[in-house]
Structure 1
Amino acid sequence: MTGKRKNSRSPDMLLRITKPHIQHVTTVKEWDEYARANDLPTSRILGHTFGSWNEFKESLGIPAKSREGSPNKVYDQKKLINIIKEHSDFFTSKSVWNEYARKNQLPVYEVFYYHKFKWKDIQEIAGVPYSAYTDEELLQLANEYKEYLTSREEWDEFAKENGYPKSVTFHRRFGGWFKFKKRLFGRTKEDLLKIAREHEHAFTTKKEWDEYSQAHHLPKSQEYYRTFGNWNKVKSLIHT
Structure 2
Amino acid sequence: MAFEWQIFCLDTIDKAPVKGCFGSGNVETYLDWLFRAWGQTVMVAALSLVVALVVGSIVGVMRTLPDSPWAVRLGNMWVELFRNIPLLVQIFLWYHVMPVLIPAFADTPKLLLVVFGLGFFTSARIAEQVRAGVQALPRGQRYAGMALGFTTAQYYRYVLLPMAYRIIIPPLTSESMNIFKNSSVAFAVSVTELTFFAQQAGEETSRGIEIYMAVTLLYVISALAINRIMAFIERRTRVPGFVASTGGGGH
- The TM-score, its normalising length taken from structure 2, stands at 0.24
Greater relative contact order, per chain length (Cα 8 Å cut-off, separation 6+): 2
Structure having the higher helix fraction is 2
